[in-house]
Structure 1
Amino acid sequence: MTTAAALPSTARMGLSLGKVEILQFFRDRTALTFSFLFPALLLLLFGSIFGDDYDQPGLSAAQVFSASMIAYGIVSTAFITMGVGIATDREDGTLKRLRGTPVTATAYFLGKLILVAVLTVAEVVVLLTAGVVFFDLPLPADAGRWFTFGWLLVLSVVACGLLGIAASALVRSARTAGAVLNVPVVALQFISGVFIHPITQLPDWMITVASVFPVKWMAQGFRSVFLPDTAAGLEAGGAWEHGRIALVLLAWCVIGSVLCLSTFRWTNTRDA
């Protein structure tokens, strides 16, 4: 008698899919430019235009942008890459074909998350390198700030990745996925203090709206890691508010999980 070969574990399938995702992404020059390099290009642009134009002693606008743009980089690599990738897989039938194989939904999402994690780490390294080399962004010298950076990075990637999965259900066509997902992302950057800082320059209602979403808290958190504590007074609440940042991001992780479970589908509605 012969026995059937054991199927690979979910983790092994996810790792294999992750390797394929990474190779495919870096072969796509369009995705590489707009999802990966675009935040760094914006940082160089904003930093060069505004330079030292800032009221805070010992702090330049370019350094503020360098810290804030990490949040945009994560949104670009996690939310947009995840949303566009799943919408494309659904449109071209990849998801439908995978559904008929031993590959589980968990393995599929694990592969996407591996891609997002790799891209996010690379994105952050690129942004920090640009900030340090071109704008003299000081790197933290104490472990406490790097610990804050670590949990901020993890919660931000998880929240944005889950929301990207959920948002993919709103995209009707893979060709329009990038445009559809970029509209709310760009709008949030302006009202969340990423492109405009101090955030107190914005109308109160804009700050209130931004406070509902994770981008404001992500940007504020990364500023707390790389900027001096005196800069905390420039925030809407007059402090870094690490406890509130953690609670908001955790809440969005939960919301993202619920939205994924309730909205994810393997095929387009018209193909169902």
Structure 2
Amino acid sequence: MIATTLRLGMSRIGNEVRSYFRQGDSVFFTFLFPLLMLTIFSTAFSTQSFGVDDDGNSVSAAAFYLPAMLAAGLLLSGVQNLAIDIATERSDGTLKRLAGTPLPVVSYFIGKIGQVLVTGAAQALLLIVVARFVFGVDLPTTVEAWSTFAWVFILGVTTSAILGIALSRIPRTGKSATAVIIPITLVLQFISGVYLSFNDLPDWLQFVASQFPLKWLAQGMRAVFLPGTFESLEAGGDWNLSGVALVTGIWLVLGLVLCRLTFRWIRKDG
């Protein structure tokens, strides 16, 4: 039974990825949007210095915004993409048709999460390649840094995918999904240190943002890609990677519980 569930889930990943790239709006607003923002910020602030590295060299806008855009990409690929996509599938009858097949719910989840892992990895690779070869950003050279990137990415993209599935229950129709979900993800990006420097925000807003995973994912990415001179600017004066793992892990568990309690192939309140 478990083997069949896994096999069906793995077989759906390819279908989900192909379906994702056929949707132009999804590709733009979740896959290419972080790259667009990185390009805009890197170009608009190309003459400004955002600090200095350990050797006293200026940190460019591209280097400063790269970790933020990587974190935003996790949120968009998981939360925004899946919440809208599943709400639309529920509204247009796709989930109802799937309910009439032998496909287990877990296999459906595996397909969706697998799609986010694949597209999220492709997006992160694209961001890093463009930052390095177009904007000349120096990348980490240590195994420790890339190991940190790997676990922050995997934990972050999985948590975002699970939360996206859970949030898909909120929109009542597929047409309203965009209007409901995008404002949530947009506000989180502004208060979590993606577009604005986190330490420049009011203390109360920093506290609010600290309750959500995006702030911690952005912090984890900064620990990988920014020089050690930036560590003192974080709340508490260090990267606090244990906090990144703890808060994101809590949201992962919470998301799994919400999925278990709320996911249905069809809405019973509509």
Paired letter, 2:228: D
Moved more, 52-61 or 234-243: 52-61
Q: TM-score w.r.t. structure 1 length?
A: 0.93
Partner of 2:247: 248
Cα distance, 1:180 vs structure 2? 1.4
Distance 1:174 1:166 in 2: 15
Alpha carbons of structure 1 residues 259 and 8: separation in structure 2 relative to 1, 3 Å: closer
Partner of 1:133: 133
1:179 aligns with 2:179: yes
Distance 1:122 1:7 in 2: 29
Runs of 4 or more, structure 1, over 4 Å off, are: none
Alpha carbons of structure 1 residues 20 and 230: separation in structure 2 relative to 1, 3 Å: same
Paired letter, 2:146: W
Q: CA RMSD in A?
A: 1.7
- Structure 2 residues without counterparts, runs of 5 or longer: none
Q: How many residues align?
A: 265
Give a deviation string over 1:243-271, Cα, whole Å, max 9, x none: 11111111111111111112212112345
Distance 2:2 2:192 in 1: 46
1:165 aligns with 2:165: yes
Q: Is the 8 A contact 1:189 1:215 kept in 2?
A: yes
Q: Is the 8 A contact 1:71 1:218 kept in 2?
A: yes
Partner of 1:237: 236
Partner of 1:98: 98
Cα distance, 1:146 vs structure 2? 0.8
Partner of 2:9: 14
Q: TM-score w.r.t. structure 2 length?
A: 0.93
Cα distance, 1:7 vs structure 2? 11
Give a deviation string over 1:75-101, Cα, whole Å, max 9, x none: 111111111121111111111121121
Cα distance, 1:8 vs structure 2? 8.1
Cα distance, 1:134 vs structure 2? 2.8
Alpha carbons of structure 1 residues 101 and 132: separation in structure 2 relative to 1, 3 Å: same
Paired letter, 1:50: F
Distance 2:50 2:180 in 1: 37
Moved more, 135-144 or 208-217: 135-144
Distance 1:109 1:7 in 2: 14
- Structure 1 residues without counterparts, runs of 5 or longer: 1-5
Distance 1:219 1:7 in 2: 35
Identical aligned residues as a percent: 41
Partner of 1:30: 25
